[in-house]
Structure 1
Amino acid sequence: MTKMEPVRIIGLPPGSLVPSGSASAALAGADLVVGGKRLLSACPNELIPAHAHRLAITGPLKPIIETVRKTANKGRKVVVLADGDPLFYGIGKRLGEELGRENLIIEPSLSTVQLAAAKLALPWQDMDFVSLHGRDDYAPLYAALVRADLIAVFTDAVNTPAEVARALQERGADCFTMTVLENLGAPDELIRPLTLWETWGMEFAPLNMVILERQYPPEIPLSLGIPDHFYLHQKNLITKLPVRAAGLAHLGVAPDSTVWDLGAGCGSVAIEASHLARRGRVFAVERNKTRAAMIRENIRRTGAWLVDVILGDMPEALKDLPEPDRIFIGGGLGGESNQDTALLDTACRKLRPRGRIVVHCILLDSLHTAKDHFQAQGWHFGVTQLQASATDSLAGDLRFKAQNPVFVLWAEKP
């Protein structure tokens, strides 16, 4: 059996797309040249032998990769063209996974991010990178807004700079400014600093990227254990700090978890869960319009842009949400939403295998309902009773004022 001929992946400089000397030499000996139409057309005919086949990437990669594999397995030379650095949101990763990294020879060029950072004189070692290519949700962008002060966003024909600006405005993330860089490295290069609202109705060159810069930090630093009085909340409808901390500890939120906070109140659990699920998704579900508005304001104050607020009645409001790894139920078990255990049934059905659910109960009936439900399903579960006391002023001194006892019930799905 013929050993696979190494596949050469060549990065062309952004904008100019002029092959280097070594790239030209590799093209001169190629039997198959693969790349997007723009990259193929950038290579003059005299660089590619007449017998070489040009294969344009115009659709799914799977058949392209199979052609590359078969050609290389026959001992023939394959050159794959990429834009900039093939290993930075490029085809290099996918080819390494499919063909084996040992079968690749990679010649990178400047990445678009390097060029953009140089144009703006921005150090980029702490920059976050988000690709919206082919995505129908902005969760990676919202996560980056939480953790980074400088973000490079790769756009596409649908997720344009105007759509990125709209997404930030919808979340209230007006603490970021935007620079749009079009046709980097080309003669018609255009670099425009823009306010978010300016992008409304604007058109941009197909080849563009966005740099977002934070101008000021959130009013309240996002962390675990945010004091209760920092949250805008209605009456006493907040999961108090000691109980919130215990609930989050029992949830065991991982960095890539999808979390549901059901009956979210002011959103304190969802907001602090988003600090832990920094690469995941967090949904705060609340049926009351006033409380939902308070959650959005608390998100703005803390910069917890990862949290999606879902306004609606449960369990109907849950049907279109992605399946969760973690579910917190702070309210609803004693109300209409859980008649005939409808809410618990839906939550348990939607929870992914080996997922965890935590229920905070104040009423004994709610505790027994949840306990009996998990017991009937054969789930491993436990209950912790938590009663905290906090200092309160009295007669010029301090006393301890007891908070309501809460039952923290946790259960794991097999």
Structure 2
Amino acid sequence: MPILVVGLGLDPDNLPEQHVGHIEHATVLVGGKRQLAAFEDHPAEKIEITSPLSRILEQIKEAENNRLDVVVLADGDPLFFGIGNTLVRELGPDHVTVLPNVTSVQTAAARLKIPLQDIRTVSLHGRGDFRPLLSALLADKWVAVLTDADNVPSALAQSLLDKGVDYYTMWVFEDLESGKEKVASYSLEQAAHTTFSRLNIVIFERRGDPEVALGLGIPDHEFARERNLITKQPVRAAGLAALRLHAGHTVWDLGAGCGAVGVEASVLACRGRVYAVEKKGERVSHIRENARRMGALLVEPVHGTMPACLADLPDPDRIFVGGGLGRSSEVLEAACDRLVSGGRIVVHCVLFSSLAQARQTFETLGWPHEVTMVHPSLGEALGGDMRLKAENPVFIVAADKVEGSGKAGQGGGDA
């Protein structure tokens, strides 16, 4: 007999007859404390869902093997960020039957009178970072957030304020479908200083845009920077292409300067994260300002001296080195050590000594690498006509980390 997973919607006292019938005939009820409390007078054996979930799954399997009528209770719709997904995956689709119901996001959309399909939904249940939210905000006007006891509305609002974002309105829906229901909109500043009911969901509405449109090929003059310290747009484009970025990648931009590469990398790593590492405080301020003005929410400025400041960062899938190599290979070796297996590193070199240093490091490691020279010329007006003004040539060295290769400076496999 398959396990029945019943969606309770938002009001367990107002269920469809089919749902009520299956619950009434259950000999085992499985659910969270709040779901089980709605059926405290039911004579069935109760199994409360707690951590670790593996233990609960074993109890469900045992009850199924004993041919008991097992009903799992779920808030809203079981397959909408719910326990239904886990049960289908762990028990197999042939062993699970799902009875759907209304979700909190559906109800919130009805309250706002907007099409449900226009809302992107993310769940922050049990997550320690807001990356899914930030990624969604970059792509969609309406973003719903399923919150939890730690990721509360005020914390979400403060996270955006910390990034200098002010063009979102936050709708908070409290105690939907109850006598205490409350629906209200807040500025991020208001929401950051408000305490909300524990039962809530949030919908962000974008009501403006960043000062500068985030994308590839942002004109150099749009970036706040120190003198002419920037990876020029044509060279930037070549470097980003060499990185071969995917949406979920974690990226390090080392010696980030004004953060131009990191900002544009975040467009491609749109479900990942970008750490722009820079040791000079003024340049870090420029990175923050550029990320704010361009709405590059996934860019995290890191102020510190390499390689020590890299210790607390997550291992990268891609590394861009635009500066900070110095005369020692210490930074490059430390970066290579942390790069994930199969990852890719791109180094921009202006000096022959830096080119030699990068090549020597990769050859020692046994990593396949290629060198490309980019020597752009930019058009400028002259005497009613136009001429091409040559920029400095840049060597682009790209290498792939070979699985099982040795640590930098210790030798590796065959090239």
Q: TM-score range by the shorter chain?
A: over 0.9
Give, as a single letter, the amino acid of the residue that structure 2 aligns with 1:393.
A
Q: Is the 8 A contact 1:178 1:210 kept in 2?
A: yes
Pairwise CA distance, 1:102: 2.0
- What does residue range 175-324 of structure 1 map to in structure 2 within 5 Å? 175-324=167-316
Q: C-alpha distance in 1, partners of 2:281/2:179?
A: 52
Which whole-Å deviations, capped at 9, do the CAs of 1:56-75 have from their partners, x for residues lacking one? 11332111111111211232
In the other structure, the counterpart of 1:99 is 91
Instruction: Describe the SS at the equivalent of 1:10.
Output: strand
In the other structure, the counterpart of 1:18 is 14
Pairwise CA distance, 1:44: 5.6
Instruction: Describe the SS at the equivalent of 2:354.
Output: helix
Pairwise CA distance, 1:378: 0.4
Which whole-Å deviations, capped at 9, do the CAs of 1:14-40 have from their partners, x for residues lacking one? 145533211121122222110011111
Q: Is the 8 A contact 1:128 1:151 kept in 2?
A: yes
Give, as a single letter, the amino acid of the residue that structure 2 aligns with 1:242.
P
Match for 2:69 among 77, 84, 95?
A: 77
Q: Is the 8 A contact 2:153 2:192 kept in 1?
A: no
Q: Is the 8 A contact 1:19 1:43 kept in 2?
A: no
In the other structure, the counterpart of 1:401 is 389
Q: Is the 8 A contact 2:317 2:340 kept in 1?
A: yes
In the other structure, the counterpart of 2:2 is 6
Q: Which moved more, 1:137-146 or 1:254-263?
A: 137-146
Q: C-alpha distance in 1, partners of 2:188/2:74?
A: 31
In the other structure, the counterpart of 1:31 is 27
In the other structure, the counterpart of 1:371 is 359
Match for 1:390 among 355, 378, 381?
A: 378
Give, as a single letter, the amino acid of the residue that structure 1 aligns with 2:241.
A
Which whole-Å deviations, capped at 9, do the CAs of 1:79-128 have from their partners, x for residues lacking one? 00000111111001111111012211101110110001101112231222
**Scaled by the length of structure 2, what TM-score is found?**
0.94
Which whole-Å deviations, capped at 9, do the CAs of 1:138-161 have from their partners, x for residues lacking one? 111111221111110111111111
Q: C-alpha distance in 2, partners of 1:201/1:256?
A: 32
Q: C-alpha distance in 2, partners of 1:163/1:316?
A: 30
Instruction: Describe the SS at the equivalent of 2:110.
Output: helix
1:66 maps to 2:66: no
Instruction: Describe the SS at the equivalent of 2:213.
Output: coil
Which whole-Å deviations, capped at 9, do the CAs of 1:215-244 have from their partners, x for residues lacking one? 112222211111111211211111111111
Q: C-alpha distance in 1, partners of 2:309/2:40?
A: 56
Instruction: Describe the SS at the equivalent of 1:178.
Output: strand
1:344 maps to 2:332: yes
Which whole-Å deviations, capped at 9, do the CAs of 1:239-295 have from their partners, x for residues lacking one? 111111111111000011111101111111111111111111111111111111111
Q: Which moved more, 1:131-140 or 1:81-90?
A: 131-140
Q: C-alpha distance in 2, partners of 1:25/1:225?
A: 60
Give, as a single letter, the amino acid of the residue that structure 1 aligns with 2:17.
G
1:362 maps to 2:354: no
Q: C-alpha distance in 2, partners of 1:120/1:126?
A: 12
Q: Is the 8 A contact 1:16 1:186 kept in 2?
A: no
Instruction: Describe the SS at the equivalent of 2:215.
Output: coil
The sequence identity of aligned pairs, in percent, is 47
Query: RMSD in angstroms over aligned alpha carbons?
Result: 1.3
* Structure 2 unmatched ranges of 5 or more: 403-415
Q: Is the 8 A contact 1:264 1:285 kept in 2?
A: yes
Q: C-alpha distance in 2, partners of 1:56/1:161?
A: 27
Note closer, same or farther for the CA distance 1:200–1:281 as it changes in structure 2 (3 Å cut): closer
Instruction: Describe the SS at the equivalent of 1:239.
Output: coil
1:155 maps to 2:147: yes
Note closer, same or farther for the CA distance 1:383–1:289 as it changes in structure 2 (3 Å cut): same
Q: C-alpha distance in 1, partners of 2:10/2:376?
A: 60
Q: Is the 8 A contact 2:33 2:48 kept in 1?
A: yes
Which whole-Å deviations, capped at 9, do the CAs of 1:357-383 have from their partners, x for residues lacking one? 000000000110010000001001010
